[in-house]
Amino acid sequence: MKKMILFLLLYLSISITVFAGSKPYVILVSFDAFRWDYLNREITPNLKKIKENGVSALSLRPAFPSKTFPNHQSIITGMYPAHHGIIANTFSDPFNKTIYRMGDTNAVRNGRWYLGEAFWETAERQGIKTASYFWPGSEILIPYRRPTYFEEYDHERPYEKRVEGVMDWLKLPAEKRPHFITVYFHETDTQGHKFGPDSPETNQAIKTLDNIAGLLFQKLDEIKMRDSVNVIFVSDHGMTEVSQERTINIEKIVGSSDCKFFDGGPIMFVEPNKEKVNDVYNILKKNENHYKVYLRDEVPEYFHFNDHPFISQIVVVADLGWSAITNKKSNWEGKGNHGFDNNQLDMHGIFLAIGPNFKKNYHTGTLWNIDIYPLLCKIFEIFPRTNIDGKLDRIEFILNE
């Protein structure tokens, strides 16, 4: 009997080890504002290798608005911003008179803003350890809503250190090792805003990030995990040239002090006093030039941007390359920006993937970022949430059969 139990225990532990060993690994890398066509500038030799040995999409379509926080959440939850709740980098809750701001550590860690389930939560609940070396929403102060391992956002953290941190997690003993890891780099966003997408500075940023991709593979080689890890490179959105000469002063057009204005640049949230909504809308509609104005309920369907109570009564979307401003200051002083209509190709990012679960030398058209969450669930063979907007059918064909 004793022998039998021992045999059973041995059998169980072997099968658990085999099962754990066969779980896939995925590193999800985000290059902020790495526009889809930066890959065609012949300055990205490391990323080019992925194109040849893995999957590459023509572009990755962000969700609207094409901004950082809404789209990192869309990627990780499979939902449109109006559904996952992070509708902008900055927005207000008019009912509680509180403001969400990506630079406000308390706000970004407060779980009440986040309505979607991030992939790390889905995965952890189904027995997969996860980690995040930065990702908007990864620092929520509710332990079961964040990855097992995470880092508090530090803009200045050297990129090599971030890669080193990812490798340290992969070097953990099997039972502690995360199988899903995110990591984030901002270089193309910073330089793209400051100098514009076609500047030498942005090209330098592209090269820097390509070197980081090279470093990541070199380090995976060193720990002998190159062949077992899937690496997915995405960007949250693209970048387009803007100019001080192409601004529209929305406050001046409205001509009223009864209005609150949030955000600005490619998209502006206009919140008039309740009884003034139609008047303000009509003025903005009459003067509609280089922008589109919508009542919240009439935002075009393809934006999927109306069924969240924090979206303002009136939404202004600037034409590509234009900026909506107020009297206070020019809301944007740089040479590049994003946030515009997500169907504009300039707002599209990249999607590259390589590893055991992906086809090789496979090129496809535009993919949608909301479909990455169901793709990750498929790779790990776990159940996705059923309330998502993403669809596996639109992306599944890039995986090995």
Question: Is 68 designated active site?
Answer: yes
Report how far residue 53's alpha carbon sits from residue 355's, in angstroms, rounded to the nearest whole number: 9
Catalytic position from the list 17, 44, 68, 202: 68
Q: Which of 78, 136, 178, 334 binds ligand AMP (CB under 6 A)?
A: 136
**CA–CA separation, 199 vs 268, rounded Å?**
27
Nearer to ligand AMP, 70 or 384 (CB): 70
Q: Select from 38, 91, 153, 233 the one that contacts ligand AMP (CB under 6 A).
A: 153
Binding mask 232-261 for ligand AMP (x = CB under 6 A): ------------------------------
Min dist CB 341 to ligand AMP, Å, is 16
Strand-pair partners of 354 = 231
Contact between 83 and ligand AMP (CB under 6 A)? no
To ligand AMP, the closest distance from the beta carbon of 52 in angstroms equals 30
| Per-residue tokens: 61 | 């379509």
The answer to whether residue 195 forms part of the interface with ligand AMP (CB under 6 A) is no
Chosen residue from 89, 110, 344, 364 binding ligand AMP by CB under 6 A: 89
When the beta carbons of 33 and 57 are compared against Zn ion, the nearer one is: 33
Site for Zn ion in 16-75 (CB under 5 A): 32-33, 68
Binding flag, residue 264, ligand AMP (CB under 6 A): no
The answer to whether 318 and 265 have CB atoms below 8 angstroms apart is: yes
Q: Distance between the two ends of the chain, CA-based, in angstroms? A: 44
Is residue 291 near ligand AMP by the rule CB under 6 A?
no
Q: Which is nearer to ligand AMP, 154 or 160 (CB)?
A: 154
Q: What is the largest CA-CA distance in the chain?
A: 88
Residue 187 or 189 with smaller CB distance to Zn ion: 189
310 binds ligand AMP (CB under 6 A): no
Q: How many residues sit in the footprint of ligand AMP (CB under 6 A)?
A: 15
Identify the residue among 46, 56, 59, 68 touching ligand AMP (CB under 6 A).
68
CB nearer to ligand AMP: pick between 3 and 155:
155
Closest to Zn ion by CB, 103 vs 309, is 103
Q: Residue 182, interface with Zn ion (CB under 5 A)?
A: no
| Candidate ranges 36-44, 132-140, 160-168, 263-271; the one touching ligand AMP (CB under 6 A) | 132-140
Binding span for ligand AMP by CB under 6 A among 53-61, 134-142, 161-169, 278-286: 134-142
Would you give the binding string for Zn ion spanning residues 236-265, x where CB under 5 A is met? x-----------------------------
Ramachandran sector of residue 304 (left: φ over 0; alpha: ψ -120 to 50; beta: rest): left
Residue whose pair of structure tokens reads 């949250």 in the numeric block? 236
Return the residues of window 94-123 that contact ligand AMP according to CB under 6 A.
102, 108
C-beta of 138: minimal distance to ligand AMP in Å? 7
Residue 184 makes contact with ligand AMP by CB under 6 A: yes
The residues annotated as belonging to the active site are 68
Q: Using CB under 6 A, list all residues that contact ligand AMP.
A: 32, 67-68, 89, 102, 108, 134-136, 153, 155, 184, 186, 189-190
